[in-house]
Amino acid sequence: MTHLDGNALAGPLSEVFRDDMTTALGRCASCGDVSVLAEALVYDAAPGWAVRCHACGDVLMTFVRTLDRLRIDMRGLTALEIPS
């Protein structure tokens, strides 16, 4: 079975993380709430941020900044819908 290297992700990731993600709809893995990310609760927890569901308070995403990269954990979202 053949595979592509990580460079193949450049296109899809640029589609996901564009200028304004605040209008994207996220579905909470915990309670099922579907809301625009602008409604999420963002906590500055240096060196990163925790994004929590406005309905149940569970973690939707975390962002951790290291010296040379940004690590994003999105396991609290079961779906992310981006307006086209």
Which residues form the interface with Zn ion (CB under 5 A)?
A: 28, 30-31, 33, 53, 55-56
**Nearest approach, Cβ of residue 31 and Zn ion (Å):** 3
**Nearest approach, Cβ of residue 61 and Zn ion (Å):** 12
The helix/strand/coil state of 76 is: coil
**Nearest approach, Cβ of residue 69 and Zn ion (Å):** 28
Of the two residues 27 and 48, which places its CB atom closer to Zn ion in the complex?
27
Cα–Cα distance, 12 to 9 (Å, whole number): 5
Of the two residues 8 and 56, which places its CB atom closer to Zn ion in the complex?
56
